[in-house]
């Protein structure tokens, strides 16, 4: 299986009264074209479109999703299978990417826990999306819309806009092409017999409304733990349906650019043999957790792994899934490294995870999400500022008389991301 990602480097976004296009590294966007596309859905009442550039005094909140614009140029399938495209298997052929650009969705929210992206100031250091050129799409639902319909409308609108923008690059020559190839199980084992066999176990948030992830359009909580080709993930097979405690939830952009997968490809054939990828869910009930972790261990053994990397999504309840996966895989004689983050209290002295086991002795941390930060006021806010006192990491009356916002970094989108797609590190 071979996938070519053709990166068209975007250095700016500008509005135009003409047709939307990409030219000389600039994404020109006709606002009316975006609004017309979004308002095709009768569940969305209003739509506004803004631009947020790196370094500007701009705050985006509450952030629903972040999506990278892409288009399928050659090969089977299309963008966001099960949502926009049909459910043909993706992960091969050629896909063009508007690299450096992102669609950020915002507006009135279903719950209260979506996050913040600051394009400058101290908050910008904690989110990777302060470095992207963001087309911000603010949408408001029609009055009385039910929660699930509201959530669905905002999600699919973001995907539609990302596909519209991505299609502008379909006939352009990429500035650079990244090529990824992945053999079948037999060929992989035969090709590098002397190297340790390593797989990636990705845990997908799947605890219900605002805690969902979709695989080929299917809600992950309705699936069994399974094997997926990592190239499928890189080509849009997995998308976000969640946003709570936004520091460690994976926006769609993160799934499209999963850092663990990319690092494993870099090491493949050099220091390890990348055998494959297992996706497993994070359900609420104990029987579901037992079933899913049993299958994770079974499939890791089936792949003949010497070691696995396990990335968590979220915290608290999913800590149980993380430790179950670790214990059961280690019991098979397979070494594990887990990637998580910490909720160790504002002083850093509390227990970092809600569950623990001696077998989880190789841990990469994404940071302490309870760390407190003061965000100075921005000249411009896209979205609704009044949610910042109720989002996860916020507190009542957390905006002072000068407009400073005191929050935990869990309120910042991507601050402690558990696939490594963020800016914190430990030494």
Q: Which of 47, 243, 247, 305 is catalytic?
A: 243
Residues contacting residue 378 through CB under 8 Å, at least 6 positions apart: 57, 58, 59, 118, 119, 120, 121
CB atoms within 10 A of CB 218: 12
Q: Which of the 8 DSSP states describes residue 142?
A: P
Q: Which of the 8 DSSP states describes residue 359?
A: T
Cα distances from 19 to residues 46, 70, 164, 367, in angstroms, run: 21, 18, 12, 44
The whole-angstrom separation of Cα 368 and Cα 422 is 13
Judge whether 243 counts as a catalytic residue: yes
Closest CA to 161 of 45, 27, 25, 24: 27
Burial of 287 (0-12, 13-18, 19+ CB in 10 A): exposed
Q: Do 212 and 220 contact (CB within 8 A), yes or no?
A: yes
Give me 4's structure tokens.
């070519």
Answer positive or negative: Cα dihedral of 266, 269, 270, 274. Answer: positive
Report, in angstroms and rounded to the nearest whole number, the Rg of the chain calculated over CA atoms: 21
Which residues are annotated as catalytic? 243
């Amino acid at each position: 299986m071979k996938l070519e990602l053709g990166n068209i480097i975007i250095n700016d976004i500008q509005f135009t009264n003409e047709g939307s296009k990409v030219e000389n590294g600039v994404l020109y966007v006709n606002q009316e074209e975006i609004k017309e596309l979004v308002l095709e859905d009768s569940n969305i009442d209003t739509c506004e479109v803004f631009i947020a550039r790196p370094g500007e005094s701009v705050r985006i909140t509450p952030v629903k999703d972040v999506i990278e614009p892409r288009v399928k140029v050659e090969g089977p399938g299309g963008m966001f299978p099960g949502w926009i495209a049909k459910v043909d298997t993706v992960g091969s052929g050629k896909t063009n990417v508007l690299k450096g650009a992102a669609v950020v969705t915002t507006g009135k929210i279903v719950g209260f826990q979506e996050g913040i992206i600051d394009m400058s100031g101290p908050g910008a250091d904690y989110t990777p999306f302060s470095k992207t050129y963001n087309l911000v799409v603010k949408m408001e639902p029609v009055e009385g819309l039910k929660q699930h319909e509201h959530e669905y409308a905002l999600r699919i609108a973001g995907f539609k806009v990302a596909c519209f923008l991505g299609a502008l690059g379909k006939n352009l020559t990429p500035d650079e092409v990244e090529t990824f190839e992945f053999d079948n199980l037999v060929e992989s084992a035969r090709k590098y017999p002397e190297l340790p066999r390593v797989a990636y176990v990705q845990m997908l948030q799947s605890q219900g409304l605002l805690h969902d992830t979709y695989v080929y359009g299917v809600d992950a909580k309705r699936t069994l733990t399974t094997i997926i080709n990592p190239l499928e993930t890189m080509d849009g097979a997995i998308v976000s349906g969640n946003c709570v405690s936004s520091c460690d939830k994976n926006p769609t952009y993160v799934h499209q650019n999963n850092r663990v997968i990319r690092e494993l490809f870099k090491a493949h054939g050099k220091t390890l043999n990348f055998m494959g990828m297992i996706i497993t869910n994070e359900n609420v009930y104990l029987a579901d957790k037992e079933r899913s972790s049993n299958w994770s261990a079974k499939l890791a053994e089936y792949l003949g792994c010497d070691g696995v990397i396990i990335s968590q999504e979220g915290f608290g309840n999913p800590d149980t899934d993380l430790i179950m996966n670790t214990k059961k895989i280690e019991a098979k004689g397979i070494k594990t490294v887990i990637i998580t983050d910490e909720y160790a209290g504002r002083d850093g002295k509390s227990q970092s995870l809600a569950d623990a086991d001696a077998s989880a002795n190789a841990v990469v941390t994404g940071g302490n999400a309870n760390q407190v930060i003061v965000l100075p006021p921005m000249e411009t806010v896209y979205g609704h500022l009044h949610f910042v006192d109720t989002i996860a990491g916020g507190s009542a009356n957390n905006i002072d008389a000068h407009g400073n916002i005191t929050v935990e970094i869990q309120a910042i989108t991507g601050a402690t991301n558990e696939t490594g797609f963020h800016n914190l590190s430990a030494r």
